[in-house]
Structure 1
Amino acid sequence: MSESAVDGTAALSIVLFAGGFDRVHYALVMASAAAATNRKVTLFFTGRALRALVHEAEPGVLGWHDLDPADDGSTPVARDRYFATHGLATFEELLEACVALGVTVMACEMGLRALGLPPGVGLRADVPVATGGVVTFLNEAPKGGAMLFV
């Protein structure tokens, strides 16, 4: 293991507070790529981005379907379908990769309350999600690691 991996400078912490599909999708791209290169990665979901972690409201309709429209104005489902037909990783593929690669996924307690969801209730069962506040997130972020806001 490299010295930077040990001292935390190779770590990546991403705060997802915007709910646009393209922003959340690309944060998953960054997180999975960083984890694939042996970096410690934390995704901290808050605000409208938390929709990505909400379980199905009805069969086949995942929470990320309710994210804000993509940058080109298309719905999240249409944009994801475009990615799939053009050989790009889909939302579900990226989220599954993040889980498989050990990315830490945190849901902001304040953000959950703002959406009307009690901590840990209504979130996807297939994604291990820790709940915590900003202080928890900052205390767990490795010193010297990179932090991005999406």
Structure 2
Amino acid sequence: MASRGKSNLWRYWGYGVLAVLLLSLAGTGFGPGIYAVLVGLLILFVLFQAPVYCGAINRKRGGGVEFCRNNSSGLVLGCHLRQHKWQKFGRDWWSLGWREKTKGIWTGASAKLATISGLVGTVTGIIGVFK
């Protein structure tokens, strides 16, 4: 049977970019432009392509908030449900407090890995530019 689509390993290409950023701090081979491109690619990966849980708000019960556990791509986009596509960045984003906003990006191990990778990659890129 023929395989469909890309390999599962290709879904994690952004973590390779993070590894290149971290390893490049040891040498002096990259200029500021390369760091800017690598950080831009990493941020695009984290926001729009990293495999994470949806994290959109399902229901508000009492004072608590429940988050969607469907698979999605990136920290900004939602899952396959129409209401969740841009909900994480839409109206509910602006009406919630910071505690509820940041809970959505920490909904699972993959979301935590994507968030930390984006932060570490950005800091590494900034260090590389000024190195």
TM-score by length of 2: 0.29
Higher relative contact order (CA 8 A, sep 6+): 1
Higher Cα radius of gyration: 2
Q: Indicate the structure with greater helix content.
A: 2
TM-score by length of 1: 0.26
